[in-house]
Amino acid sequence: MKKKWVGVLMGGISPEREISLKTGEAVFNALRDLGYKAIRVDAKDDIFERFLKLKIDIAFIALHGGWGENGGIQGALNIMGIPYTGSGVCASAVAMDKILSKKIFSYHSLPTPGFWVYEGNNSGIKKFLKEQSFKLPVVVKPVTGGSTIGVYIVFNRKELEKAISQVLFLDSRVLIEEYIKGRDLTVGMLNGKPLPIVEMIPKRGFYDYKAKYTKGETEYVCPARIPAKTTKEIHKIALQAYRALGCKGAPRIDFRLSSANKPYILEVNTIPGMTGTSLLPMAASRVGINFNRLVEMILEESFNERL
């Protein structure tokens, strides 16, 4: 296995490029530490030609957002016959599309917040709002976004109109989601099994981009301090969602836990952050899996799965 060349796909052109570069660099360093023949591949352009020239044996996908997570790069690698880490084309595409994934959650009777969708331009927002009955507050977000970029919690109609307009700069479709008052939790999956639950407690506001990526802005508790019964229920829902979408590899599943301890699944992130301080490695470390070993387990599973 260590004689194979591993191409770490990183960077890209999505708004999450900088985060992807950090993930990719951490993965690359781990692979080199483990003795693998690894090479960095910035997925900006001419990626197919580069992959063919480099003669990569397997791709470790460290891309966030855009075609790195929506099935595009997975489809291209399938065509080139190059095995890769993480979920396949269909699961990646569905997980990236919050509308599709929420419909699948509902079909499988998995609890997820209610939602509305706006498709159009700025001129149609007022009409849309008049036709809908929203119980405020609500959460406004891009249908295909990640890293909490472009996510707003709004408390009145004026803020709602402005938030929809802002999100339209990022996506042609806007998801307006029921706000669940409570706690932010996430569950990583590894080899088809849930890892310990992590709770994210932002020091101010909500768990947005700044809270995620600014040191000291958020307290992380792992395992989350919740009743054992609730832990069991969240793990069960996470596994059901993982299977319903057909995921593979090590995705991360985000939840909101209501004040009545009822969990609601928000979304599945098929390529979560993978730095030394990211949530998935944090959860893995609680069961004795260090960062380097986590990277190797993800690589081994995918290599065995696709060869």
Is 172 labeled as catalytic in the residue annotation?
no
Q: What is the pLDDT of residue 208?
A: 60
- Annotated catalytic residue: which of 14, 92, 101, 278? 278
Q: What is the pLDDT of residue 206?
A: 67
Which residue, 241, 228, 257, 150, is CA-closest to 188? 241
Q: What is the pLDDT of residue 170?
A: 87
| Digit-coded pLDDT (tens) for 59-78 | 999 998 777 889 999 999 99
Which domains, ranges and CATH numbers included, belong to the chain?
Answer: 5-85 (3.40.50.20), 94-111+180-306 (3.30.470.20), 115-178 (3.30.1490.20)
Residue 267 in marked binding region: yes
Q: Is the pLDDT confidence value at 2 over 80?
A: no
- The confidence band for 252, taking pLDDT boundaries of 50, 70 and 90, is very high
Residue 33 in marked binding region: no
Is 278 labeled as catalytic in the residue annotation?
yes
- The confidence band for 302, taking pLDDT boundaries of 50, 70 and 90, is confident
- The confidence band for 235, taking pLDDT boundaries of 50, 70 and 90, is very high
Report residue 37 as tokens. Answer: 């023949």
| Digit-coded pLDDT (tens) for 88-112 | 999 999 999 999 999 999 999 999 9
Which residues contact residue 302 at a Cβ distance below 8 angstroms, ignoring those fewer than 6 apart? 58, 83, 84, 85, 86, 248, 249
Q: What is the pLDDT of residue 28?
A: 97
- The confidence band for 15, taking pLDDT boundaries of 50, 70 and 90, is confident
Helices 89-96 and 98-107 cross at an angle (nearest 10°) of: 100
Distances (CA, A) of 222 to 112, 185, 231, 290: 23, 10, 12, 15
Mean pLDDT of 296-301: 94
pTM over 0.75: yes
- The confidence band for 306, taking pLDDT boundaries of 50, 70 and 90, is low
Distances (CA, A) of 239 to 50, 187, 189: 37, 10, 8
3-class DSSP state for residue 161?
helix
| Digit-coded pLDDT (tens) for 164-219 | 999 999 889 999 999 999 999 999 999 899 999 999 998 877 666 665 666 777 89
Which residues contact residue 68 at a Cβ distance below 8 angstroms, ignoring those fewer than 6 apart? 9, 12, 14, 20, 43, 61, 271
Query: Residue 196: phi, psi to the nearest 5?
Result: -55, 145
Q: Which of 210 and 220 is assigned the larger pLDDT? A: 220
- Annotated catalytic residue: which of 14, 16, 101, 177? 16
What mean pLDDT, rounded, does the chain reach?
90
Q: What is the pLDDT of residue 209?
A: 60
Is 133 labeled as catalytic in the residue annotation?
no
Instruction: Quote the DSSP letter at residue 174.
Output: E
- The confidence band for 307, taking pLDDT boundaries of 50, 70 and 90, is low
Please report, as a single letter, which amino acid is at residue 66.
Answer: G
Q: How many angstroms separate the CA atoms of 194 and 197, rounded?
A: 8
Report residue 288 as tokens. Answer: 């004795």
Q: What is the pLDDT of residue 211?
A: 57
* Run of H or E including 221: strand 218-221
Verify cis geometry, omega within 30 degrees of 0, for the bond prior to 137. yes
Q: What is the pLDDT of residue 66?
A: 76
- Annotated catalytic residue: which of 147, 177, 199, 296? 147
Give the largest CA-CA distance in the chain.
62
